[in-house]
């Protein structure tokens, strides 16, 4: 069974630039999560989708972050414009509706200079 796919693995940008991350969840997983993990901390939920609807985006900085999940499958997370404090690993995870076990992708490591 294929796991959660994310791209790119690494991205280096300058502050005020924009960046986008892509995630393809495990086939059949209706729930998709985007997390931000700052070095030395636990993953922090940014947004949670169930199919193509948003379940929770209470911690998403909406002035600069946006996410979409068209057709209820893959998803993109965008930052525009980026700030220095956005440097982190962005993790995507997916789970089945009936079983809340989250499977994580390898993540995208973002460095904002």
Partner 1 sequence: QQPVQSPQAVILREGEDAVINCSSSKALYSVHWYRQKHGEAPVFLMILLKGGEQKGHDKISASFNEKKQQSSLYLTASQLSYSGTYFCGTEISGGYQKVTFGTGTKLQVIP
Q: Provide the binding-site residues for partner 1, judged by CB under 8 A.
A: 4, 31, 35, 40-45, 48, 50, 55-56, 91, 95, 97, 100-107
Can you tell me the distance from the alpha carbon of 77 to that of 99, in angstroms, rounded to the nearest whole number? Answer: 24
Closest CA relative to residue 49, chosen from 26, 72, 78: 72
CB of 102 to partner 1, least distance (A): 7
- First CA to last CA distance, the chain: 37
User: Judged by CB, which is closer to partner 1: 22, or 103?
Assistant: 103
- With residues binned 3-state (H G I as helix, E B as strand, rest as coil), the percentages for the chain, rounded to 5, are 5, 50, 45
Closest CA relative to residue 110, chosen from 60, 32, 35: 35
Kindly report the length of the chain. Answer: 113
User: Judged by CB, which is closer to partner 1: 61, or 81?
Assistant: 61
User: Judged by CB, which is closer to partner 1: 75, or 95?
Assistant: 95
CB of 63 to partner 1, least distance (A): 22
User: Judged by CB, which is closer to partner 1: 17, or 50?
Assistant: 50
């Amino acid at each position: 069974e294929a796991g959660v796919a994310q791209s790119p693995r690494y991205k280096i940008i300058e502050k005020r630039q924009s960046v986008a991350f892509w995630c393809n969840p495990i086939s059949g997983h209706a729930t998709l999560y985007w997390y931000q993990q700052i070095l030395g901390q636990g993953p922090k939920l940014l947004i949670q989708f169930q199919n193509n609807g948003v379940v929770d985006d209470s911690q998403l900085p909406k002035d600069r972050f946006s996410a979409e999940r068209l057709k209820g499958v893959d998803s993109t997370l965008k930052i525009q414009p980026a700030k220095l404090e956005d440097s982190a690993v962005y993790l995507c995870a997916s789970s089945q509706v009936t079983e809340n076990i989250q499977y994580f992708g390898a993540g995208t490591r973002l460095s904002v200079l």
